[in-house]
Amino acid sequence: MRFNLVVFASVLSFFLTSASRHHERESGKCCKRTMKGKEHLHPLHKEYQKHQVSPEQQHEIDSILPKAFDWCAQGFCTPSWNQHIPQYCGSCFLHGALSAAQDRIKISHAQKGFTGADVMLGRQSFLNCAPGHNISNGCDGGEGIDVWTFMDKFGLPDETCLPYNATDHTKFTWTNGTCPPEGYCMNCMYTPESPKVPLCFPVTKMVRYRAKSYGNIIGEHAMMKELLNGPITCGIACSDGFSYNYSAGIFNDTTGFMDLDHDVEIVGWGEENGVKYWHIRNSWGSYWGENGFFKIVRGINNLGIESDCTYVVPDVSDEDLVWSETPAYGGSVWGIRPFSESAKANPSVNDTLDITSGPGTSKPTIVPFTTETPTLPPYTTITPTQKPTSALPTIQKTQNKTPAPTKVIAPSQETTTKATDSVVQTDTIAEAMSMSTTVNASMPLLVCLVLLSLTVAAALFVRISMPPARRRMYDQLS
């Protein structure tokens, strides 16, 4: 009997472990790059073989393109992010895309001789407002092209409008997920009308960063040529070896795993001890990999890294209206407003109705700051009784998981659309609700296993509570 129970417990443990791993796979430990229930939007890795380097292109790579090129090494990389704090959010597509976009903005500023602070684009503004326009699914997945599309249609403010809190449109329950005015940009402070009580209110006019053009690129040669214009965003298949075992060096997956489920930013390329590699920024914090970056072998489409890439050409024309020597607009606590007569001829800085207006939208009420501290954020904003709605923007050109044996080669040291003029909105902070669907999918199996384990426990209890004579008889019958 004792042997039978041990065997049964081992089998039960195996099923519980399998269910746990299945749930981890289904929930997307890396990033929900592909929207749930939707086939991969850009399965370009299937086309990779059609884009192999010709002898002429290989000659160009070998003789014309440099052996090594890196935007970070030249000082053009903005700070890194972590998409998974303060809670899990499957927004890798957003982080990979915006990292490339803001690095290209930094390059553009240098070309103009501008030496001001780095522009960090508004991640939370996108997560709050884009899904309401059917552009991505927020923390539940998307594609780099979704980000360019939003920037093309609506533009995106910088991150001083809203702090990133790893939530999305689902917190706006009173608008059915539509972005309210404070979901795009907001401010909280004392005003002349309220000198003793600080108010939180939407900011509806601000500099927006748009997309002049964007597109897809495939293959080593095309990627290297586009990288000369700025960093690019690429899909990658996160094997377990990559996710959990990588620490430094040039990564080389040996399993052929190609299920693209993550997006990253490629900032350059190089060669080390005869091994070609890509230099790539991840979005899992600077404590991961090599200060948040990693290297992977180049030229063999390892983990699908060369099969689905995008690029964007950012449009920073709104800056010129505000930051020029003779600005048309100036700034205030309520947002950008006309500074000179020339603003009439440049009505580009509009309000955010294009993002947040829609059927049933009502004008939000400005409410006072309170001393009661909600979970997120530590201030009150718009009253939930109001029902604002929203709409989203456009953009431009740019270029999932099984255990995998890996090989670390060496520790390292190293198409087109037009953007439209429109504006985006403001942000409130609340709790994310992104993981419930995948939990529900595994529930029936988990419930059965729990019931099974309870049955075994009951049988053990009955046996232990028997008198010794009856227990021996019970064991013989078993």
Tens-place pLDDT, residues 397-454:
333 334 444 444 444 444 333 333 333 333 333 333 333 334 444 455 666 666 777 7
| Region at 114 (left for phi over 0; alpha for psi -120 to 50; beta for the rest) | beta
Lowest mean pLDDT: which of 64-73, 288-297, 357-366, 378-387? 378-387
d(CA 87, CA 124): 13
Closest to 230 measured CA to CA, from 55, 89, 111: 111
pLDDT of residue 401: 39
Helix, strand, or coil (residue 263): strand
25 and 150 co-located in one domain: no
198 and 116 co-located in one domain: yes
pLDDT band (50, 70, 90) for residue 143: very high
DSSP state of 23: H
Q: How far is CA 60 from CA 94, 299, 414, in A?
A: 33, 14, 23
Quick: pLDDT tens for 274-300: 999 999 999 999 999 999 999 999 999
> Of these residues, 165, 187, 216, 282, which one is catalytic?
282
Lowest mean pLDDT: which of 50-54, 131-135, 462-466? 50-54
285 and 412 co-located in one domain: yes
pLDDT band (50, 70, 90) for residue 321: confident
pLDDT band (50, 70, 90) for residue 270: very high
Residue 343 predicted with pLDDT over 70: no
Lowest mean pLDDT: which of 79-83, 120-124, 245-249, 329-333? 329-333
252 and 397 co-located in one domain: yes
Closest to 214 measured CA to CA, from 141, 106, 309: 309
Residue 8 predicted with pLDDT over 80: no
159 and 259 co-located in one domain: yes
d(CA 106, CA 123): 17
Mean pLDDT of 316-339: 75
pLDDT band (50, 70, 90) for residue 47: low
357 and 470 co-located in one domain: no
Q: Give catalytic status of residue 89 as yes or no.
A: no
Name the H helices within 68-175: 92-112, 123-129, 144-153
Q: What is the domain extent for residue 177?
A: 32-434
Q: How far is CA 457 from CA 8, 269, 461, 469, in A?
A: 11, 58, 6, 21
| 31 or 224, which is more confident | 224
What's the structural domain count of the chain? Answer: 2
Among the candidates 434, 452, 468, a domain finishes at: 434
367 and 469 co-located in one domain: no
What residue has token string 């530590």?
Answer: 378
118 burial level (CB within 10 Å; 0-12, 13-18, 19+): middle
d(CA 176, CA 353): 17
Helix, strand, or coil (residue 252): strand
pLDDT of residue 22: 42
Helix, strand, or coil (residue 307): coil
Closest to 281 measured CA to CA, from 14, 82, 11: 82
What residue has token string 């269910």?
Answer: 19
150 and 161 co-located in one domain: yes
> What CATH number is associated with residue 40?
3.90.70.10
**Greatest mean pLDDT among 101-110, 252-261, 311-320, 367-376:** 101-110
In the chain, the amino acid numbered 81 is W
Residue 320 predicted with pLDDT over 90: no
pLDDT band (50, 70, 90) for residue 333: confident
Quick: pLDDT tens for 78-92: 999 999 999 999 999
Quick: pLDDT tens for 155-201: 999 999 999 999 999 998 888 778 888 999 999 999 888 899 999 99
**Percent share of the chain, pLDDT over 70:** 60
189: which strand partners? 199
> Of these residues, 40, 51, 169, 262, which one is catalytic?
262
User: What are the DSSP calls for 170-206, one per residue?
Assistant: GG-GGGTTPPPGGGT-EEEEEETTEEEEEEEEE----
Helix, strand, or coil (residue 64): coil
In the chain, the amino acid numbered 198 is P
Structure tokens at 132: 């309401």
In the chain, the amino acid numbered 314 is P
Query: Would strands 275-281 and 262-272 be described as parallel, antiparallel, or unpaired?
Result: antiparallel
pLDDT band (50, 70, 90) for residue 148: very high
Q: Give catalytic status of residue 448 as yes or no.
A: no
37 and 19 co-located in one domain: no
115 burial level (CB within 10 Å; 0-12, 13-18, 19+): exposed
Q: Give catalytic status of residue 30 as yes or no.
A: no
pLDDT of residue 351: 64
d(CA 242, CA 284): 13
Give me the chain's average pLDDT, please: 74
Using the Cα atoms of residue 141, residue 153, residue 121 and residue 334 in order, give the sign of their dihedral: negative
> Of these residues, 30, 92, 200, 309, which one is catalytic?
92
158: which strand partners? 121
- Return the axis-axis angle of helices 220-227 and 55-63, rounded to nearest 10°: 40
413 burial level (CB within 10 Å; 0-12, 13-18, 19+): exposed
Residue 205 predicted with pLDDT over 60: yes
d(CA 77, CA 176): 38
205 and 297 co-located in one domain: yes
Closest to 280 measured CA to CA, from 95, 111, 471, 45: 95
Name the strand (E) or helix (H) holding 214: strand 210-217
Lowest mean pLDDT: which of 35-39, 79-83, 342-346? 35-39
378 and 455 co-located in one domain: no
Q: How far is CA 406 from CA 45, 240, 244, 274, 414, in A?
A: 21, 9, 11, 19, 20
312 and 346 co-located in one domain: yes
Name the H helices within 154-292: 220-227, 240
